[in-house]
Structure 1
Amino acid sequence: MKLPLLAALAATALAGCTTTAQAPSSPVLVPSSDWRAVATENDRERLRNWRSTFTTALAQARAAGHGSAIAAEGALLEPDAALGGAVIPNGQYRCRVIKVGAKQPGLLDYIAYPAFRCRIQQERNLQGFAKLTGSQRPVGLVFPSEATRQVFLGTLVLGDEARAMQYGNDPDRDLIAWVERIGPNRWRMVFPSPRFESLTDVVELVPAR
């Protein structure tokens, strides 16, 4: 059984209403700075299969008539676009969410949302990520991983919930993602097999102005 990841994230996703959350700095205790020692087996499997999941999601969306929209996003929706060379800096970000591939019949195969507000900030020897607005708000930690990318582990805060659920307590809320640089001052988070709605969620992050 994995040790707690989000032991102090009760204060990291305080919600003022259904669409806006404040995320004050909060210490997060983890057993290791190695994400593999923290992630559940289910999440490690999701990350291992990320590329096949992503390509399947893209094929499904193209078959549903969204090929031009996918092409217009360029590197954001290219599975092998990671450039490496720079860890995502702390700061405020504009983050656009794109959901690709339908989890089940009747759901949308592709949807791109307007920009939300997100934040990266220092959490001791790691970084914390929080999506501050919207009805679905990932919150958690960014771990070092490879030369080309980092790994996010966290949970999903929904609606007007006042605090983040403990990572590992509910597989439906657990999240894992690659964090990759895909251009000058442009990053993305690739969430393979989220539990709700889509096959892959992609979050674009660009510094807020």
Structure 2
Amino acid sequence: MSGFALAACAALAACGGGDRPARASVKAGTSAALDWRQVATRADRDRLRNWRTSWVAAIDKARASGNGAALAAESKLFEPDRALSGAVPPPGAYRCRVFKIGANGTAARDFTAYPYFDCRIEAEGDVSSFFKTGGSQRPVGLAFPDSDTRAVFLGTMMIGDEKAALQYGRDAERDMAGIVQRVDEKVWRIALPQPRFESMLDVVEIVPVK
């Protein structure tokens, strides 16, 4: 297991559930860890429960500000109900890029597409880890199976020269929650509704390294 995969597992080592008493540690791969609802904080369960409302509002805001062509160019990626079987990418090296949709907070633009970066998927028993392999901001976390067409991503953000991920649920500003889906042949996404900064919706495209 790589250092980043270890960080992903460490980040999800304990249940968050901010509205509940602290639970005993739950390691990735145990039966308890498979139910993302037992791991997610209350705030993240709310974000995931309202994912479609957030998605539609973000797309509508971006389209209203003149980004219709950019949205249409990646229509499969931004279609909220598009979900094919095989929700979780197989282990391996990937290229990822982030789209921020619907300005929020200090953001000035309703649609921003960032350059590709290197990322990896690794199998961790019954869950899979996702992590960005470099840069000053590195999302890291686990994808929990939910159905054949959907998995749930829970993770946190590593910053700067940090060697270990902050435990999920300890800092709400760093917690990440999203939906993992396959949207095309060898194209996956993680959709993060109501992220903490800048946007109403983040979509992470995941494609294999050629």
TM-score normalised per structure 2? 0.84
| Equivalent residue, structure 1, for 2:112 | 111
Contact 2:7 2:165 in 1 (8 A): no
- Aligned partners of 2:128 and 2:171: how far apart in 1? 23
TM-superposition CA deviations, 1:80-116 (whole Å, max 9, x none): 1111245321111010110001112653211001111
- Aligned partners of 2:153 and 2:129: how far apart in 1? 9
Shift of 1:189: 0.4
The AA in structure 2 aligned to 1:67 is G
| Equivalent residue, structure 2, for 1:57 | 58
The AA in structure 1 aligned to 2:165 is A
| Equivalent residue, structure 2, for 1:84 | 85
| Equivalent residue, structure 1, for 2:140 | 139
List aligned pairs for 1:38-187, cutoff 5 A: 38-85=39-86, 87-104=88-105, 106-187=107-188
Q: Which segments of 5 or more consecutive residues in structure 2 lack a partner in the other structure?
A: 11-26
Contact 2:65 2:110 in 1 (8 A): yes
Aligned in 2, Cα 1:24/1:155: closer, same or farther, shift over 3 Å?
Answer: closer
- Aligned partners of 2:106 and 2:9: how far apart in 1? 41
- Aligned partners of 1:96 and 1:111: how far apart in 2? 11
The AA in structure 2 aligned to 1:142 is A
Shift of 1:158: 2.4
Q: Percent identity?
A: 52
Shift of 1:67: 0.8
RMSD: 2.1
Mean alpha-carbon deviation: is it higher for 164-173 or for 118-127?
Answer: 118-127
| Equivalent residue, structure 1, for 2:24 | none
The AA in structure 1 aligned to 2:94 is Y
The AA in structure 1 aligned to 2:108 is L
The SS at the match of 2:205 is strand
TM-superposition CA deviations, 1:4-38 (whole Å, max 9, x none): xxxxx9x42xxxxxxxxxx6687552442111111
- Aligned partners of 2:177 and 2:47: how far apart in 1? 8
1:197 corresponds to 2:198: yes
Contact 2:140 2:158 in 1 (8 A): yes
Contact 2:82 2:183 in 1 (8 A): yes
The AA in structure 2 aligned to 1:140 is G
The AA in structure 2 aligned to 1:81 is R
Shift of 1:163: 2.4
- Aligned partners of 1:66 and 1:135: how far apart in 2? 28
Q: Which segments of 5 or more consecutive residues in structure 1 lack a partner in the other structure?
A: 1-8, 13-22
TM-score normalised per structure 1? 0.84
Contact 1:120 1:129 in 2 (8 A): yes
Q: How many residues align?
A: 191
- Aligned partners of 2:157 and 2:167: how far apart in 1? 10
Mean alpha-carbon deviation: is it higher for 152-161 or for 142-151?
Answer: 152-161
The SS at the match of 1:46 is helix
Aligned in 2, Cα 1:27/1:103: closer, same or farther, shift over 3 Å?
Answer: closer
Contact 1:26 1:123 in 2 (8 A): no
